[in-house]
Structure 1
Amino acid sequence: MESFEVLLEKYAELVIKVGVNIQPGQNLMITSPLETVELTRLLVAKAYRAGAKYVHVDWEDEQLMRIRYEEASEESLNYYPKWLADMAEQFGDEGGAVMRIKVPDPELFKGIDSSKVSTAVKAAAQARQKHSAQTRNNQITWSLIKAPTRAWADKVFADLPEEERIPAMWKAVFQMNRVYREDPVAAWREHIQELKLRQEQMNTKRYKKLHYRAPGTDLEVEMPEGYLWLGGGDTNASGTYFVANMPTEEIYSMPHRSGVNGTVTSTMPLNLNGQLVEGLKLTFRDGKVVDYDATSGREHMTHLLATDEGASHLGEVALVPHSSPISQLNRIFYNTGIDENASCHFALGSAYPVNIEGGTRLGKEELLARGANVSLTHVDFMIGSAELDIDGELPDGTIEPVFRKGNWA
């Protein structure tokens, strides 16, 4: 077994070469929790060795965010500095790459009024709309990666002695990212090809509808004209290939925003901006959420759905087999970027324009006219299990099995 130092070095090399795939002369912005300083320093070094022109690190301390919600006025929560949004936009305009170590504490805002959180999140989303478009349209290179923090490890591995939790989390992160393989970069390229093959099979089928059935779920999802399944990674405006989520096991597309009908029940807790929602159940009519409930955290969903009109419609449909390597770890990670790669999922809110032919060249009204959802928010929730069946309806009305008992049919 290789030492932790060697494995960490391999992980840093992997996410720089495969995740953001830094090109000579390119700038890189890394958003990092204070606790992941060792990895972050390695990432900076690897980026410069790969030819980066400048690497900027934006340090995050979640406790400062909690202090704001505890102490700041409503006027403060409605404010997001324009200069901060401008910096992100300029970075994107210059073709920079963005990497974020995204590991929010699942219970960071426990006891905080969810309306405060939704107010601040919405203010930031409104101010950063251009930068969000840069990422959703893949104009720039972006990648979300994972690294252990104390609060996250304590939640996920609460069954282990305290001193074993962070090492267990590192082991899981390395495992789900194929770092234990002799050549992780080559292993990832092979994995991406497998996802591409599955994506091509689904694009060839051209199903006009998908029908989901599982305990608590009976949902029909219509697909828009010209939809595209994607998976693994994508190319930015300069033609550079990158992987936006590490790990990733999904292929994903967009449903028709007004073509979703029925009821769906989540199978994993949702970490919604540092607040947990469990047992989520949504009922759709003509694409819109008309009823919802949750065994806990229902009030957080109330504020999410009130973000804007598009927050009550689906923007993403994603397929992940129950046999995925992350699912086989048999543990809930309370981190959407991981849990969504253990389970089929949907997302409320904005669709990715890349999931429809010519979508990146369309404005808001044109996207809506094509059936793509538009919103300030994008929140994934997991619905996969060993009991999920999915049927696909072909253009001629023929019904075919797509998933049986949680896996590809």
Structure 2
Amino acid sequence: MDPRVREHAEIIANHSTGIEAGDNVVIQLPKEAEDLAVALHEICGDRGAKPVYLNYSKRSDRAFKRAADGFSEPGHRRALYEETDVFVIARGGLNVTEDADVDPETNAAYNRAMEEVKRERLSKTWCLTQYPTSGHAQLAGMSTEAYEDFVWDAVSLDWEAQREFQAGMVDILNDAEELRIRSGEETDLTMNLAGNTALNDQGEANLPGGEVFTAPVRDGVEGEVHFDLPLYRYGREIDGVRLRFEDGEVVSHAAERNEDLLTGILDTDEGSRHLGELGIGMNRQIDRFTYNMLFDEKMGDTVHMAVGSAYPDTVGEENELNESAEHVDMIVDMSEDSVIEVDGEVVQRNGTFVFEDGF
């Protein structure tokens, strides 16, 4: 076994989740990540935790979605999560386009049926990570060996130092009333942040981490945004997304590629036309775009916004929580001709923060 796999498992167990004696642990990984499953099971055995291993298969998910005549909540799966203390899931697989031929309306219906199950899972201690496989390496345009180095270098960051670096942006956002993002000629978006909380992603729920994120006030987003980096969703690339917001709601949208998939996402439910998250990428160890949102949204010189559900911990008691069966992140490159303003003051210019040298 590659020693970096064991290090990955130890970071998950020690830093990201804090697995301890008596914990009920669900480990959901693709078959290609069996070595990581073995390492996590050894840790659970050493500590007296109780693991359950689920093999995640996109092929199986695709087959079910295409064959089923409608969906209902799987109560037995929700029951498992209700009894779970720690949930670990890793992305991976040999074919990242496995579910590309599932109809967008089918995906939306499935997500609606799974909404309460997902909410139960997210209420527990959880960690989403990546296992480096050839499918994702190919998507990133990298050799398998180079992609392994990329993933494990990002996972094994000095997370305490990263937390301290990001703390300056947390403080800025927690004092903010209004944030404005301007980039190029097509993005000029303002959002109300009053009363909501910014969180410091230091490699816990997401591994790798490396962002500061919060939620806009549900009806407090105005303007237009061009997401100039693509995203991969349900095995298909959505590129050139443009959204226009009024009173917090997407009132018009377009995409240069796979607009039907974007439309299906936005039509999932009422909450999928509102922003649930604003994130600011601050992990400069992630220095290239790889078509993997777990990494891409953390890149320095970027911001991302997610249509759909908000994380409850980011929403103040006086503000409405945006709820949705979807949560889809999209990225704006902020490295050129771009600024972030907070209450009229520029806090980032062309990717450089106000508390950094060279601002």
**TM-score using structure 1 length:** 0.80
Look up the match of 2:180.
211
| 8 A Cα contact 1:33 1:59, kept in partner | yes
- 1:227-259 per-position Cα deviation (integer Å, ceiling 9, x unaligned): 1111135xxxxxxxx810111111111101111
2:294 pairs with 1:325:
no
| 8 A Cα contact 2:19 2:49, kept in partner | no
| 8 A Cα contact 1:255 1:372, kept in partner | no
Q: Distance in 1 between matches of 2:207 and 2:330?
A: 18
Question: Sequence identity, in percent?
Answer: 25
User: Residue type matched to 1:349 in 2?
Assistant: G
- Aligned partner of 1:292 among 250, 253, 272: 253
- Aligned partner of 2:89 among 100, 107, 126: 100
2:355 pairs with 1:405:
no
Higher helix proportion, which one? 1
Look up the match of 2:69.
74
| 8 A Cα contact 2:305 2:331, kept in partner | yes
2:339 pairs with 1:389:
yes
Look up the match of 1:131.
120
Within 5 Å, which residues of 2 pair with 1:8-407? Answer: 8-49=5-46, 51-70=47-66, 72-75=67-70, 78-91=71-84, 96-103=85-92, 105-125=95-115, 127-128=116-117, 130-132=119-121, 135=122, 139-157=123-141, 165-178=143-156, 187-203=158-174, 206-215=175-184, 216-224=186-194, 226-233=195-202, 243-321=204-282, 324-326=284-286, 328=287, 330=288, 332-342=289-299, 343-357=302-316, 359=317, 370-387=319-336, 388-393=338-343, 399-407=344-352
| 8 A Cα contact 2:137 2:147, kept in partner | yes
Q: Distance in 2 between matches of 1:333 and 1:48?
A: 35
| 8 A Cα contact 2:230 2:237, kept in partner | yes
Q: Distance in 1 between matches of 2:272 and 2:109?
A: 14
Cα offset, 1:142, TM superposition: 0.7
| 8 A Cα contact 2:219 2:248, kept in partner | yes
Q: Distance in 2 between matches of 1:197 and 1:27?
A: 36
Higher strand proportion, which one? 2
SS of the residue corresponding to residue 35 of structure 2 reads helix
Look up the match of 1:239.
none
Structure 2 vs 1, CA of residues 64 and 129 (structure 1 numbering), >3 Å: closer, same or farther? closer
Q: Structure 2: any 5+ residue segments left out of the alignment?
A: 355-359
| 8 A Cα contact 2:222 2:248, kept in partner | yes
Q: Distance in 1 between matches of 2:60 and 2:118?
A: 24
Cα offset, 1:63, TM superposition: 1.5
Q: Distance in 2 between matches of 1:106 and 1:265?
A: 25
User: Residue type matched to 1:402 in 2?
Assistant: V
Structure 2 vs 1, CA of residues 130 and 278 (structure 1 numbering), >3 Å: closer, same or farther? closer
Cα offset, 1:382, TM superposition: 1.1
| 8 A Cα contact 1:310 1:349, kept in partner | yes
Q: Distance in 2 between matches of 1:25 and 1:112?
A: 40
| 8 A Cα contact 1:260 1:286, kept in partner | yes
For the aligned residue pairs, the C-alpha RMSD in angstroms reads 2.1
Cα offset, 1:131, TM superposition: 0.6
Cα offset, 1:290, TM superposition: 0.4
Q: Distance in 2 between matches of 1:35 and 1:128?
A: 25
| 8 A Cα contact 2:196 2:319, kept in partner | no
Count of aligned pairs: 349
Q: Distance in 2 between matches of 1:111 and 1:375?
A: 23
SS of the residue corresponding to residue 2 of structure 2 reads helix
Structure 2 vs 1, CA of residues 221 and 130 (structure 1 numbering), >3 Å: closer, same or farther? closer
SS of the residue corresponding to residue 250 of structure 2 reads strand
**TM-score using structure 2 length:** 0.90
| 8 A Cα contact 2:273 2:307, kept in partner | yes
